[in-house]
A and B are shown apart, each in its own frame.
Chain A
Amino acid sequence: MSVCALQIGSSLVSSLIDLAQTAPAEPKAAFSMIAFANQLLNGVGIVGILLLTGLGLAITFGVMRIINLAHGEFIMLGAYVSFVLQSAFKMDLLLTIPFAFLFTALVGAVVELTIIRRLYGRPLETLLATWGLSIVMQGIVKLIFTAQLKYVKAPPYIRGNLTVFGSGEQAVEISYYRLFIVVVALLLLALTAFLLYKTSLGREVRAVTQSREMAKCLGVNTSLIDMATFAYGCGLAGIAGSVISSLKSVAPPMGQDYLVDAWMTVVAGGVDKLVGVLAGAALIGESKAAIAFLLDDPAARVIVLAALIILIRYRPEGLFTIQKRA
């Protein structure tokens, strides 16, 4: 057994070596600080997207311990809400965001009532059911809107680039749109933290997660809290979808692209504190950008995912969690 482990080990190493050898063969400009700085700012954009897509999971998984594999499809729903409102009523993208939140939160509430509620305390069953749900949601959206790619236009006032310093070829800049994503993500993070830690509703939510029975005894309507929390998490995914809808195209399978990365963000950062998502997003986003600069995009994705698997192995509770006694 150890022999074959060695074999596969050496073949893996060799393919990694090939990866390293083939990458510099492409014509690439010499290492320049300007390009590197641009890439780091690009990384800030990735951090924003990760934070935005991971935040909803931080609620559903972090607070409620629900394994929601349909999270990507809630993102997709949010994007479609924006698309529909924009193409039907010529609405500004920013104005569609609240509707995306409301609609996905509503769908989330229905899902909680009909599916999640039956499966509390059985994480693997929840995982399977939500995976089935994600296939169903993709299928229904495909039935209604076909598999064709749809496009959402960004409002004119957040187009263009913000120049940080330099000019012309030497400029270090970030697009306003990516900046907008980061700002929305940070605002939502702050709002969620406020709701969770500073309001009586948030106190009830935390009470239910800590001890459902005790909270019930003290008069908390636990099933209502469950539904509201899950709906809020899904609503956040909807906002994420709406905000990133004009970044790429909108299509039924788009949620899948964000699912694994969003999960990795939440798991890497640790879920006990909300700020863990920010840490996870920053770590993954910037290391992805840096590795993509040195090698290429697929290599960055593979290396970061491999590193995260190793991270989960040694710290399943996440990087930024205070060790607790079991």
Chain B
Amino acid sequence: MTEVVGRIRPASNVPTRLLLFGGIALLIFCIFPFVAGEFQTNLMAKLLLFGALGVSLDLVWGFTGILSFAHGVFFTLGGYVAAYYLKLNLSASANNYGGTLPDFMVWNGLTELPWFIAPLQFFPVAAIAMLLIPAGFAYVIGWFIFRSKVSGVYITIITLAISSALTTFFISQQAYTGGTNGITDVSKLSLLGIVIPPIGLYFIILFFTAALIAGGWWLTQSNFGLILRSIKENEKRISYLGYDVAGFKIFIWTLSAAIAGIAGGLFVPLNRFISPVYLAVAFGTQVVIWVAVGGRGTLFGPLIAAILLGQVQNSVDRITQDWQLIVGFILLLVVLFLPDGLMSLLPKPLRFTENNQVTGYLPPAPKKR
């Protein structure tokens, strides 16, 4: 793992026009909540998180070539951690039963808090678990599948099975997870004793997403990113050059799961509940669709697609109940006729993907001792 991290070198240059457009976009997003109403602010915060989730999938799929339907799972694992924290910190008056035990546990006959959930009532533990549980789960899976001869399509089928199995598992463990309903009626997020208002939450989420985009850009433009893209192009060749391909894959896979977990953790204070709906394959598919429609390997594409599709869905939902059908058509058309997604419709200078070709020199591979 240290060898892999050692590969990350700063990107050589950031184009001025990227700084310009990024700055303008950030400014617009900063002004947005003061212009739009509370409903739109909350919706936009949600879509920013979905966009961040899309970006995390883009890192493994668009840049490294691993298609995963399990990113919704990592997102939801982070979400459950946050939901336990918020549920356990409900003030006694707000809790229907006056006690410290969450209502769904009372309904299912639990008399005391299970020991593996209890530590989550403390903020530092929950904050770390929000990141470590999805990342740890992803690391185990990643170690398991990437250090084997399992090839692309099988990995995708495994991620489908994981999502399906976990959904069943969470629904069946009603006493611990709230079953089909999930964890509802959670408290509002408060930091240092101050309850965070919706607009504060919006800015936390905006900061997270902006930092993710900046960090993602830096990562993918670095030597490390070059190796990832090379793995996508020709895995065998990279491994013949002496690189530990599996190590790189596991690293980016774990990192992206951690990002998805944080996004999920931020989602719960906003959404006020989490349920197995977000574990299911359908939500994992949504994430894949954002990336496919936005453009694989573009970093900005998934974010734009998530916001665009989300806003369209919001307005279309009032007219028709068949949003899913439209989404299916969009996915089908994009795969068949626009394989590089919406970003490829933009003029070239605005795509910021010119450095994504596998050119230049790979740094020397580490010596085997």
B281 an interface residue at 8 Å Cβ cutoff? yes
- Asked, given contacts A9-B140, A314-B148, whether A301 binds B165 with beta carbons under 8 Å apart, the answer is yes
Does A14 contact B339, Cβ atoms closer than 8 Å?
no
A169 an interface residue at 8 Å Cβ cutoff? no
> B67, B140, B331: which contacts A124 (Cβ < 8 A)?
B67
Within 8 A of A (CB), among B130-189: 132-133, 135-137, 139-140, 143-145, 148-154, 156-158, 160-162, 164-165, 168-169, 171-173, 175-176
Does B136 contact A4, Cβ atoms closer than 8 Å?
yes
Contact digits for B86-100, partner A, Cβ 8 Å, 1 yes 0 no: 000000000000000
- Asked, given contacts A11-B133, A118-B336, A313-B150, whether A260 binds B160 with beta carbons under 8 Å apart, the answer is yes
The stretch that binds A, out of B10-18, B266-274, B319-327, is B319-327
B116 an interface residue at 8 Å Cβ cutoff? yes
Does B140 contact A22, Cβ atoms closer than 8 Å?
no
Does A8 contact B136, Cβ atoms closer than 8 Å?
yes
A216 an interface residue at 8 Å Cβ cutoff? no
- Asked, given contacts A9-B140, A132-B331, A313-B148, whether A138 binds B324 with beta carbons under 8 Å apart, the answer is yes
Does B325 contact A139, Cβ atoms closer than 8 Å?
yes
What residues of A have a CB within 8 angstroms of the CB of B332 in the complex? 115, 129, 132-133, 136
State in angstroms the CA–CA spacing of A119 and B336 once bound together. 8
What residues of A have a CB within 8 angstroms of the CB of B329 in the complex? 132, 136
Q: How many residues of B contact A (CB 8 A)?
A: 54
**In whole Å, how far is B296's beta carbon from the nearest beta carbon of chain A?**
10
State in angstroms the CA–CA spacing of A30 and B35 once bound together. 67
**In whole Å, how far is B344's beta carbon from the nearest beta carbon of chain A?**
15
Select the residue from B151, B156, B175, B322 with max chain A CB neighbours within 10 A.
B156
Does B153 contact A124, Cβ atoms closer than 8 Å?
yes
- Asked, given contacts A131-B285, A136-B329, A305-B164, whether A4 binds B156 with beta carbons under 8 Å apart, the answer is no
Within 8 A of B (CB), among A114-136: 115, 118-119, 123-125, 127-129, 131-136
Does B169 contact A313, Cβ atoms closer than 8 Å?
no
Does B152 contact A301, Cβ atoms closer than 8 Å?
no
What residues of B have a CB within 8 angstroms of the CB of A7 in the complex? 132-133, 136
**In whole Å, how far is B225's beta carbon from the nearest beta carbon of chain A?**
20
Secondary structure dominating the interface of B:
helix
Within 8 A of B (CB), among A245-263: 256, 260, 263
What residues of B have a CB within 8 angstroms of the CB of A301 in the complex? 165, 168
Within 8 A of B (CB), among A1-48: 1, 4-5, 7-9, 11, 14-15, 18-19, 22
- Asked, given contacts A8-B137, A115-B336, A125-B339, whether A309 binds B164 with beta carbons under 8 Å apart, the answer is no
**In whole Å, how far is A66's beta carbon from the nearest beta carbon of chain B?**
10
**In whole Å, how far is A326's beta carbon from the nearest beta carbon of chain B?**
9
B292 an interface residue at 8 Å Cβ cutoff? yes
State in angstroms the CA–CA spacing of A296 and B173 once bound together. 12
What residues of A have a CB within 8 angstroms of the CB of B135 in the complex? 4
A191 an interface residue at 8 Å Cβ cutoff? no
Within 8 A of A (CB), among B81-138: 114, 116, 132-133, 135-137
State in angstroms the CA–CA spacing of A119 and B337 once bound together. 11
State in angstroms the CA–CA spacing of A310 and B154 once bound together. 12
> A18, A127, A139, A313: which contacts B328 (Cβ < 8 A)?
A139
**In whole Å, how far is B333's beta carbon from the nearest beta carbon of chain A?**
8
A275 an interface residue at 8 Å Cβ cutoff? no
Does B172 contact A299, Cβ atoms closer than 8 Å?
yes
What residues of B have a CB within 8 angstroms of the CB of A142 in the complex? 322, 325
What residues of B have a CB within 8 angstroms of the CB of A135 in the complex? 285, 324-325, 327-328, 331
- Asked, given contacts A115-B336, A128-B335, A132-B329, whether A263 binds B157 with beta carbons under 8 Å apart, the answer is yes
- Asked, given contacts A128-B331, A133-B332, A314-B148, whether A22 binds B175 with beta carbons under 8 Å apart, the answer is yes
Does B1 contact A309, Cβ atoms closer than 8 Å?
no
Interface range, A side? 35 or more
Does B162 contact A309, Cβ atoms closer than 8 Å?
yes
Does B157 contact A124, Cβ atoms closer than 8 Å?
no
State in angstroms the CA–CA spacing of A196 and B164 once bound together. 33
> B160, B176, B328: which contacts A133 (Cβ < 8 A)?
B328
What residues of A have a CB within 8 angstroms of the CB of B325 in the complex? 135-136, 138-140, 142-143
**In whole Å, how far is B251's beta carbon from the nearest beta carbon of chain A?**
9
State in angstroms the CA–CA spacing of A22 and B176 once bound together. 11
State in angstroms the CA–CA spacing of A8 and B281 once bound together. 22
B230 an interface residue at 8 Å Cβ cutoff? no
Does A131 contact B161, Cβ atoms closer than 8 Å?
no
> B67, B133, B173: which contacts A127 (Cβ < 8 A)?
B67
- Asked, given contacts A1-B139, A129-B332, A132-B335, whether A14 binds B165 with beta carbons under 8 Å apart, the answer is no
What residues of B have a CB within 8 angstroms of the CB of A128 in the complex? 67, 288, 292, 331, 335
State in angstroms the CA–CA spacing of A128 and B339 once bound together. 11
B254 an interface residue at 8 Å Cβ cutoff? yes
Does A1 contact B161, Cβ atoms closer than 8 Å?
no
Q: B289's closest neighbor in chain A, by CB?
A: A132
State in angstroms the CA–CA spacing of A303 and B57 once bound together. 27
State in angstroms the CA–CA spacing of A278 and B68 once bound together. 29
Q: B69's closest neighbor in chain A, by CB?
A: A131
A106 an interface residue at 8 Å Cβ cutoff? no
What residues of A have a CB within 8 angstroms of the CB of B132 in the complex? 4, 7-8
State in angstroms the CA–CA spacing of A37 and B171 once bound together. 29
Select the residue from B1, B161, B162, B175 with max chain A CB neighbours within 10 A.
B161
Point out residues on A near B: beta carbons under 8 Å. 1, 4-5, 7-9, 11, 14-15, 18-19, 22, 67, 115, 118-119, 123-125, 127-129, 131-136, 138-140, 142-143, 256, 260, 263-264, 267, 296, 298-299, 301-302, 305-306, 308-310, 312-314, 316
12 contacts between A and B (CB under 8 A): A4-B132, A5-B139, A19-B173, A115-B332, A127-B67, A132-B330, A138-B325, A298-B171, A299-B172, A305-B161, A305-B165, A316-B149
Q: Which 4 A-B pairs have the closest CB atoms?
A: A139-B325, A135-B328, A298-B172, A8-B136
